[in-house]
Each structure stands twice: as C-alpha cells, then as structure tokens.
Amino acid sequence: MNSLEARNVSKVYTVDNQAICVLDDVSLTIKSGEFVVIMGSSGSGKTTLLSLLSGLDNPSVGRILVEEQDITEWSEDQLAPLRNETIGFVFQSFHLVPSLSALENVMFPAELRGDRQARARAGEMLAQVGLAQRKSNFPHQLSGGEKQRVAICRALINRPRILFADEPTGNLDSKNGTAILDLLVELHAEQQTTLVLVTHSAEIAARAERVITLYDGRLGNPLPATENAVNGLAMAMALR
C-alpha cells in the first residue's frame, strides 16, 4: 500500500500582490514502511512539500493522498484525528510545551485520544531513549539532544504509521545529531513506520532508502539507496 501520494501538486503564495510559486507540478509516491529523504537547498520547497503531504497545508493545485485517501479538501475536523493518530511530527525546534514535564509532553497526544495507559506508555518510551531519570524535568532543564528525544517520543506515542521529520538534527551538534538520526532509523525499523525526513545533509541522505531532490520547487530525479553514499556529498555540494 502507498502511504503518501502527491499528484501534480503546486503551491503558490501571494506576497505584495505578487504570486510566488514554491512548488511546481510535483508528483511522487511513497510506499508504506519506506524511509525517504527529501533534499534541497534553502528555498527549494522541501518544507512546503512536507506540510502538504502531512495535511498541515493545502496545495493550490493538485491532490494529496494519505494511505490512499484523498485529503486535499478535508476539513480541520476531518484532519485532526489523522494528525493525532496516523501521522507523527518531529520538528527542528522541538515545540515542547514549556509548562509541562518531559513525561507530560510525551503523554499529551495520547491523552487527547483518551488513552488510559498514556502515563505508563510515556514512561516506557522515555526509558527506551535513556531519559527515565529526566521524566520530571521541564524543557528548560533539558539539553538540545534530550529535548529532541522527548519530541520523538511524543511523536511516536500514538504509534503513527507515518512519521514526518523536518531537519530534526538542525539545532544539534554533530554528536547529538548522529544519536537522534540513529534513534529515528532504529524506531523506523522496529515499528515499520513510514519515515519522511527533510534535510540538506548528505550524511543523513546516505542512510535513506530513497532520496527525492527538489530544485526551485521542481522535482529532481529520485536516487535509489545504492547511489546515496556515492552521490550524496556531490549532490549536497551542488545544492549549495
């Protein structure tokens, strides 16, 4: 089954009465359980594409399908359970709630579903990523790497079938960035979650099963996994 599909998708914004095309006739398919990287320079449209695929925004033209359901014209009421149950998000800036502890941040999406096991499951997940002793700490008491691990646990607590990650290592040093990437890849393999990760890093792209490149809002040629390691660094240099 296909997890995600974009059919002739374009996105146009109006700024100062001028139309700016951020995505131009993009079509792609991502299979269930696949690990795909979307790569491109700043302004290439990769974050916009992620927003459209995840239902956070609507295309100006074209259709978006999630698990073969056309969500293009869904209302917010229809999209809300999709975002909370089928889809998980990991962002560069963590987006933790400052007034909630690490445990409470992880619990929050499960509590919205009425999950009576939310606290126990959140505790188990934090222990799994080495944060059992930090569960009562608030975000300002955590390091960047710890915050991102909490954010990953929060994204995964409802066992989403699709996980989106937008530059998840962008605010981290190389050591913590590698640890977070290892964690995402491990959880993807364990849970067979479809993982769609936006990055400009050739090293991260080399870990994916497939790389999709964007150039000025247009789709480049996808690279199979066997070509990632060979072409990743050259591609990154070309994108700069």
CATH number of 2-95+159-239: 3.40.50.300
The pLDDT, as a whole number, for residue 42 is 81
The pLDDT, as a whole number, for residue 35 is 94
Residue in 179, 177, 91 with CA at minimum distance from that of residue 130: 179
Burial class (CB in 10 A: 0-12, 13-18, 19+), 19: exposed
Residues belonging to the chain = 240
Residue with tokens 């509590």: 111
Residue with tokens 């698990």: 67
Burial class (CB in 10 A: 0-12, 13-18, 19+), 101: buried
What are the extents of the domains in the chain? 2-95+159-239
Burial 140-151 (b: 16+ CB within 10 A, else e): eebeebbbbbbb
pLDDT digits (tens, 9 = 90+) for 180-237: 888 888 888 888 899 999 988 888 889 999 999 998 899 875 445 444 434 443 433 3
Divide the 240 residues of the chain into consecutive groups of 10 and give the mean pLDDT of each group. Answer: 91 89 94 93 88 92 94 92 88 90 95 91 91 95 92 90 90 84 86 90 89 90 47 39
The pLDDT, as a whole number, for residue 221 is 55
Residue in 184, 200, 104 with CA at minimum distance from that of residue 145: 184
Q: Residue 156 is which amino acid?
A: L
